[in-house]
Structure 1
């Protein structure tokens, strides 16, 4: 089966934007450990070598040179292991005829996979420069992102900033790329993206938006850190100079939002992931850890009080009474999040250009 002609055996930097913008499938033939450290949203890992084989070949390359390493690699990946891996590559190529393959630098591993595929009758293109070149392209795009005119969307916790962004055609979701909502309760059931994958996801989101450089982009107000990852410095600097739009909603409105977000949705997600019993245990630990993270700002005595109320609410939840969580969420908003937000907003008061509820802020941004 001929998937691609030899004339299209490579994709270089001129093709990278098309590949990312259109989410063309990518087959990553690096070892799983490399894939876990950093990959792309549309990539799937079908390695040439597993982690142990890669380490063995790498040590051989270091001690005996390239020729010996190639010989060892061919000895390690042969027979049934080669046939099994080749079948995965063939299936990927068959199912994704518009895709590409890559290794770290577009060198021996991707060329080996491409060669073995060709011997089996499949012509499939590779990425020139491999993961490293495509990763550098994304980093360059993040620098471009920082050059856009920006509007920063601020607002108290629970004011609905993330849903708001979903209604803005010219917005980017920093927290979505980070896999974290930015607060002490901001984690999800799945682990947060590492720094490399956060940067990759943000750049991919930016490219897929297909924005013109003159277009104003709307970003949620964030500090340097979103969970355990940090904003690119050029973007962070640009955000500190941008005008600010502030969503203002009532305490009751915001309380309902975080109740839905932290209690209803997170309970469902943990139980979906771990089952009803273990999921509830994991959910309870998530809430306890979130409150523990803000104990210093609450003060020892107040933290102890809210911890006790939270524990009682969890007990009531097991009986089907979830509303008891409002008894600790409400003071958490009014005594911790709101004062912290007011202080932070005061630091950027001279940049505030509009304040209003969700509908008013959306109308203002769309008008601009």
Structure 2
């Protein structure tokens, strides 16, 4: 039998060296988070886990183990028939479950008996996640961030995307979080990842960065919607040099109307999101905004939101949180269009290469 147990630290370091990373947990557990590049071969499916767990608690552990064994054996057979028949003898899978116990052990045992070089993570996903979180400061230490600052609607995300388009190295945290990072930043139809999934996506993105090149990142608060940035990443960003975008006010309003078309197209949704500001701005103000939205005056509401909600505290909070903000280079943009963003990105990229 070719079965090798490795530590989570070893798995972290050698992850790219395995042909397939197999998650033996259920579909629901896999959806919450998984190792980078993992595929899901459940030893027990979601409904089966519930059935076995109920039997364990209400009848007896022995009866539950018998049923569980039958289900696991059937599922492993299906995985082998579906996924393994075309694999060469030299195929090297890495297998894990929640804690590296029975579910990954059963699958690994069968694969090892076939003759494959199977590796299983001691402590499973739980141990790997702990190791991954502990690895973040090591990944961050050599990186050189350039933080793109600017008030709401100034085009930070557009510039970041334009920088990527000219070959610069970027870390797009809002894309990883599926959220635009403001109170109104929820994107319809795009659920945010779980906190665990977001952490893994951040680690994966950091691992891919080249320390020899600058990394452009948008200034963010500690939370992007419902997910929280790792403390070590926040600290690294806040200590880094800044670039400040300057875009005319009217262009900012137009940019927001373009980037948040669902607020224009769905007044009811916009009003629902405005309700989240009632505690900060008062119910009377929010109700006034909602009346304007319902009357088709969305642009006027966006202007008022910038003037009364977003802009007043921007300078103060950014200066408080980003140590080098006062020394930021200013990037003046005449307008919000793709051409202006691309030209600015090319100039910035040239300055750092």
Instruction: Name the TM-score, length of structure 1 as normaliser.
Output: 0.74
Cα–Cα, structure 1 residues 112 and 155, in superposed 2: closer, same or farther, change >3 Å? same
Q: Which digits, 9 at most, give the CA deviation of each residue in 1:336-363, with x for residues without a partner?
A: 2222323323435862221123555763
Q: Which digits, 9 at most, give the CA deviation of each residue in 1:50-102, with x for residues without a partner?
A: 235435656888999999875442134355x55445444437969xx676432
Cα–Cα, structure 1 residues 44 and 152, in superposed 2: closer, same or farther, change >3 Å? same
Q: What is the aligned partner in structure 1 of residue 97 from structure 2? A: 103
Q: What is the aligned partner in structure 2 of residue 155 from structure 1? A: 150
2:327 maps to 1:355: no
Kindly indicate whether the alpha-carbon contact (under 8 Å) linking 2:149 and 2:242 is maintained by their aligned counterparts in 1.
Answer: yes
SS in 2 for 1:135: helix
Q: State the shift of 1:160 in Å.
A: 1.9
Kindly indicate whether the alpha-carbon contact (under 8 Å) linking 1:24 and 1:42 is maintained by their aligned counterparts in 2.
Answer: no
236-245 vs 153-162, which moves further: 236-245
Instruction: Name the TM-score, length of structure 2 as normaliser.
Output: 0.77
Separation (CA, whole Å) in 2 of partners of 1:159 and 1:99: 47
Tell me which protein shows more strand as a share of its residues.
2
Return the match for 2:294 from 289, 301, 311: 311
Return the match for 1:330 from 282, 285, 303: 303
**Residues 240-319 of structure 1 mapped to structure 2, 5 A cutoff:** 240-263=238-261, 283-313=266-296
Separation (CA, whole Å) in 2 of partners of 1:61 and 1:233: 40
Q: What is the aligned partner in structure 2 of residue 339 from structure 1? A: 312
Kindly indicate whether the alpha-carbon contact (under 8 Å) linking 2:257 and 2:299 is maintained by their aligned counterparts in 1.
Answer: yes
Tell me which protein shows more helix as a share of its residues.
1
Return the match for 2:137 from 138, 143, 146: 143
2:218 maps to 1:235: no
Separation (CA, whole Å) in 2 of partners of 1:48 and 1:348: 47
Q: What is the aligned partner in structure 2 of residue 177 from structure 1? A: 176
Cα–Cα, structure 1 residues 91 and 177, in superposed 2: closer, same or farther, change >3 Å? farther
Q: What is the aligned partner in structure 2 of residue 316 from structure 1? A: none
Kindly indicate whether the alpha-carbon contact (under 8 Å) linking 1:101 and 1:124 is maintained by their aligned counterparts in 2.
Answer: no
Cα–Cα, structure 1 residues 63 and 177, in superposed 2: closer, same or farther, change >3 Å? same
Unaligned stretches of 5+ residues in structure 1: 1-5, 268-279, 314-323
**Residues 156-235 of structure 1 mapped to structure 2, 5 A cutoff:** 156-166=151-161, 167-168=163-164, 169-188=168-187, 189-209=189-209, 211-212=210-211, 215-235=213-233
Q: What is the aligned partner in structure 2 of residue 367 from structure 1? A: 351
SS in 1 for 2:243: strand
Q: Which digits, 9 at most, give the CA deviation of each residue in 1:14-47, with x for residues without a partner?
A: 4635635x99753311123322332235233221
Q: What is the aligned partner in structure 1 of residue 49 from structure 2? A: 54
Separation (CA, whole Å) in 2 of partners of 1:170 and 1:329: 32
Q: What is the aligned partner in structure 2 of residue 19 from structure 1? A: 15
Separation (CA, whole Å) in 2 of partners of 1:350 and 1:40: 34
Q: In angstroms, what is the RMSD of aligned CA positions?
A: 3.7
Kindly indicate whether the alpha-carbon contact (under 8 Å) linking 2:147 and 2:216 is maintained by their aligned counterparts in 1.
Answer: yes
SS in 1 for 2:311: helix
Q: What is the aligned partner in structure 1 of residue 338 from structure 2? A: none
